[in-house]
DNA sequence: GTGAAAGCGCTAACAC
DNA sequence: GTGTTAGCGCTTTCAC
């Protein structure tokens, strides 16, 4: 007993115009060569449709055509996007830019069933998916390869999985090398690499750690066990760490957020950056301009990377896939105010 | 002749399990009391479904149930989100937070046909819509009131439309008053109000201008014609403006983005803020912490507002609408480093 | 308990 | 040129 005035459908228009449903369909959305419809009829149909404020039902159409013109962005913990660093905002922007310019809609998925990832993806509502931070340790990754819609991963490829899934990522190795070389040039010899709890196993974090290790080796510096730590997001562990005697003169944080947190903690402890301690981050969005002091960081062109991921995905969806496999973007180094000459150890112990 | 291995559907599962489609449907998604299915059968069906990796088709289901569990966020010019102030990021965050916690999906619409707004909205793919910056001057606003799905506007209500559409907004008037009173307390008497080109007619901009005028009147200060300007996003007009002799000692920018741009231009012109000129903005996200100097601004709790808008919308969608009409949030003032005592005019002319 | 069948709104192949 | 029809995959009433 619902007297909700049913939306006007093709049928309504057809009846009102005194023609068949299929004619209306052809007139309104007809493509191809079999749209032979009388000039007169067509006008009349269009008129009635407009008068009735006819809006085609996208669900029905998509169901029929198996095409939704919607791309999903898998973005777990999206709810935090405004809190920390700007990295994910840039990423979102890049994806959106490309999608919208090609008239696709963007749906954000903030949760996936990691046991059965396809259940969130293959339900027909998406034409393709961009996955940020695709976990490399996923036990269910094989399933993804069998997805019926294309998937593009926007993070470093994990050697455990990699192939068969397109990855767009940055040269973490190169970026880490830029950082290490920069610090070494400044006279630093003992550098702490800081990972972030809950993120320490993500492919990019691991890749940066690997890059750090290789870069250190490359310049002939030995890395010891206590040169790598896993701290919480707000770097609370910094206090205890800085209290103990250590000859580290610089910290390389895995991303800009952690780098900024370290700057905050250092300030609280009245440790001057960069004169007493140098700090470097990774990503280098505008966020690094707002820290005190401004954070030196390796830059990955995430906006362009995200746009590229979207572009590859759309091309695949539209069938004109140039069979791109993986794409690696180069990193650069943005030197700001948080790095300086290595602090002389003798002075430091005086503190 | 497509040998694409059709997704497994209810039918597939039914055949494989040797039961009817409707039984499978009931077992897998059955709600209500008429789900009487044999214990044994149920287990068997569930088993086969799992084995076949069955994923229900969301489109078909939505089409049938007229329910998509997806909310649209109308957000024109989304592509710029990472560029300017953080206001829109906070907004997005607030909406997302509420939506995701209630297991709704978020679809971003970056373009609407302003002639026929409903065509983007009523196509069945959305259960409801949050509209940021709903233009009050929209000629087609009447149409919106006839929408078959609920709409919540996330901006100041325009007197030309207002009612019949739920609005969530901040007390622009009160915010403007806080700003003016703050400046007047500091001794400022002549204040410039700066609008932004292309945004000057948005309801919030107008409301702030109105608030500014009233607040000035309230403290007995006269506002002259050249006290209100419309500048471009990067405030290029500042240079010409500051070159001419004026006795303005403070600028009230309509939002944080323009406020920041003004700070940049002032710095270029070597005009010291706040000693020679005070600048205030509006919105007051973390963005204001990153300007030089840090920007004093009226704060609107946009994240909470956005979450509230989403909450109201979802309640409406789920039919438990407590018939809320409009909601106005209070503003506060975040005094930072861009405001100071009024600059003495005599000194200024010496510059 | 289980199954047949109608129908959500649309498209496209095929008759006429 | 126009109309009929068969689905797309699902839910739900109603027989049995």
- Sheet with B278-283: strands ordered across: B228-231, B191-196, B250-253, B278-283, B296-299, B332-334
Q: What is the CA A153 to chain-centroid distance, rounded? A: 9
A331 neighbors A170 (Cβ within 8 angstroms): yes
Q: Is the C-beta of residue A36 closer than 7 Å to nucleic acid chain D?
A: yes
- Reduce the DSSP state of residue B192 to 3 states and report it: strand
- pLDDT score for B161: 63
Structure tokens, A88: 């994910």
User: Is there a contact between A286 and B289 if contact means CB atoms under 8 Å apart?
Assistant: no
Of A275 and A29, the structure prediction assigns the larger pLDDT to A275
Q: Are B268 and B243 in contact (CB under 8 A)?
A: no
| Distance of alpha carbon A350 from alpha carbon A345, whole angstroms | 9
Residue A2: pLDDT above 50?
Answer: no
Give residue A84's pLDDT: 84
**3-state SS, residue A183:** helix
* Per-residue CA distances from A238 to A190, A223, A232, A234, B349 (Å): 16, 19, 10, 9, 51
Say what the pLDDT of residue B37 is. 86
Instruction: Tell me if residue A245 falls in helix, strand or coil.
Output: coil
Confidence of residue A34 (pLDDT cuts 50, 70, 90): low
Interchain CB distance below 8 Å, B82 and A68: no
What pLDDT score does B349 carry? Answer: 47
Vertex B116 angle, CA B111 and B117, to 5° = 50
Q: Give, in order, the Cα–Cα distances in Å from B320 to each of A6, A30, A110, B315, B339.
A: 21, 41, 25, 5, 46
Give me the residues paired with residue B281 across strands. Answer: B297
pTM (two decimals): 0.94
Position A153 confidence tier, pLDDT thresholds 50, 70, 90: very high
Q: Which residues of B touch A7 (CB under 8 A)?
A: 122, 124, 148
Kindly list the residues from chain B whose CB atom is less than 8 angstroms away from the CB atom of residue A57.
63, 123-124
Q: Select from B124, B3, B21, B127 the least CA-distant residue to A63.
A: B124
Residue-level pLDDT at A32: 60
* Chain D footprint bases within 7 A of protein beta carbons: 1-5, 7-14
For A65, the closest chain B residue by CA position comes to B59
Residue whose CA lies closest to nucleotide C13 C1': A34
d(CA A18, CA A41): 10
pLDDT score recorded for residue A20: 95
Over residues A66-101, the pLDDT tens digits come to 999 999 999 988 888 998 899 999 999 999 999 999
Contacts A109 to B, Cβ<8 Å: 105
Q: What is the mean pLDDT of chain A?
A: 91
Query: How many Å lie between the alpha carbon of B164 and the closest alpha carbon of chain A?
Result: 18
Q: What percent of chain A has pLDDT over 70?
A: 93
Q: What pLDDT shows up at residue A344? A: 67
Structure confidence by residue, pLDDT tens digits, A162-200: 567 899 999 999 999 999 999 999 999 999 999 999 999
Q: How confident is the model at residue A152 (pLDDT cuts 50, 70, 90)?
A: very high
Which bases of chain C come closer than 7 Å to a protein CB? Answer: 1-5, 7-14
Residue B132's SS3 state is: strand
| pLDDT reported for residue B162 | 59
pLDDT at residue number A351: 44
Kindly list the residues from chain B whose CB atom is less than 8 angstroms away from the CB atom of residue A89.
Answer: 81-82, 89
CA of A125 to C1' of D9 (A): 13
What's the confidence (pLDDT) of residue B29? 87
Q: What is the pLDDT of residue B32?
A: 60
- List, in sequence order, the alpha helices (H) in chain A: 10-17, 21-29, 39-51, 58-65, 87-101, 118-121, 141-145, 172-185, 203-218, 237-243, 256-268, 302-317, 345-350
CA distance B247 to B241: 11
Q: Closest CA to C8 C1' — which residue?
A: B64
Helices (H) and strands (E) in chain B, counts: 13, 12
Q: Do A90 and B78 touch (CB under 8 A)?
A: no
Residue A113 has pLDDT above 50, yes or no: yes
Q: In this structure, is the dihedral angle defined by the CA atoms of residues A135, A136, A140 and A144, taken in order, positive or negative?
A: positive
Mean pLDDT of all residues in A259-268: 98
Q: Measure, in angstroms, how far nucleotide D9 C1' is from residue B99 CA.
A: 27
Rounded Cα distance, A163 and A171, in Å = 17
Mean pLDDT, rounded, for A103-116 = 93
- Which residues make Cβ contacts (< 8 Å) with residue A98, sequence separation at least 6? A306, A307, A308, A310, A311, A314
Instruction: Reply yes or no on whether the pLDDT at A247 is more than 70.
Output: yes
Low-confidence ranges of chain B (pLDDT < 70): 1-5, 32-35, 138-139, 160-163, 322-323, 344-351
**B120 to chain A: nearest residue by CA?**
A55
What is the helix (H) or strand (E) element at residue B266, kind and residue range?
A: helix B256-268
Q: Å from B37 (CA) to C1 (C1')?
A: 6
> Could you tell me which chain B residue has the CA closest to the CA of A147?
B7
For nucleotide D1, give the residue with the nearest CA to its C1'.
A37
Weakest mean pLDDT among A202-216, A222-236, A310-324 = A310-324
With an 8 Å Cβ cutoff, is A53 touching chain B?
yes
What is the rounded distance in angstroms from the CA atom of residue A186 to the CA atom of residue B106?
A: 47
Note which residues in 128-187 of chain B have CB less than 8 A from chain A: 143, 148
Give the CA B6 to C1' C4 distance in Å.
24
Alpha-carbon distance B114 to B109, whole Å?
13
pLDDT of residue B144: 87
Residue appearing with tokens 């205030």: B280
* Phi/psi-derived region of residue B212, left when phi > 0, alpha when psi is between -120 and 50, beta in every other case: alpha
CA of B277 to C1' of C3 (A): 81
């Amino acid at each position: 007993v619902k007297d909700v005035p049913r939306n006007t459908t093709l049928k309504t228009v057809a009846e009102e115009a005194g023609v068949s449903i299929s004619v209306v369909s052809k007139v309104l959305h007809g493509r191809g060569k079999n749209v032979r419809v009388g000039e007169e009829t067509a006008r009349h149909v269009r008129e009635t449709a407009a008068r009735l404020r006819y809006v085609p039902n996208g669900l029905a159409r998509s169901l029929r055509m198996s095409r939704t013109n919607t791309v999903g962005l898998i973005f777990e913990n999206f709810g935090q996007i405004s809190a920390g660093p700007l990295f994910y905002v840039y990423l979102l922007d890049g994806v959106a830019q490309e999608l919208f310019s090609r008239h696709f809609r963007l749906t954000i998925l903030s949760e996936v069933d990691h046991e059965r990832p396809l259940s969130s993806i293959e339900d027909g509502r998406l034409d393709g998916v961009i996955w940020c931070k695709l976990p490399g340790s996923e036990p269910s990754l094989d399933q993804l390869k069998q997805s019926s819609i294309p998937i593009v991963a926007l993070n470093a490829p994990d050697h455990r999985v990699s192939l068969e899934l397109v990855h767009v990522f940055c040269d973490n190795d190169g970026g880490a090398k830029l950082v290490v070389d920069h610090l070494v040039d400044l006279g630093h010899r003992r550098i702490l690499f800081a990972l972030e709890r809950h993120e320490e196993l993500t492919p990019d974090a691991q890749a940066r750690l690997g890059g750090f290790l290789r870069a250190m080796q490359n310049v002939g510096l030995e890395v010891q066990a206590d040169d790598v730590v896993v701290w919480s997001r707000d770097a609370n562990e910094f206090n205890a760490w800085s209290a103990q005697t250590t000859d580290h003169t610089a910290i390389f944080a895995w991303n800009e957020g952690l780098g900024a947190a370290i700057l905050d903690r250092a300030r609280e402890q009245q440790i001057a950056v960069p004169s007493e301690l140098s700090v470097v981050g990774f990503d280098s969005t505008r966020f690094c301009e707002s820290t005190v002091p401004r954070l030196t960081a390796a830059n990955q062109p995430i906006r362009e990377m995200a746009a590229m991921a979207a572009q590859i995905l759309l091309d695949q969806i539209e069938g004109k896939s140039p069979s791109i496999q993986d794409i690696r973007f180069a990193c650069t180094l943005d030197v700001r105010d948080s790095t300086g000459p290595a602090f002389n150890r003798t002075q430091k112990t005086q503190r």
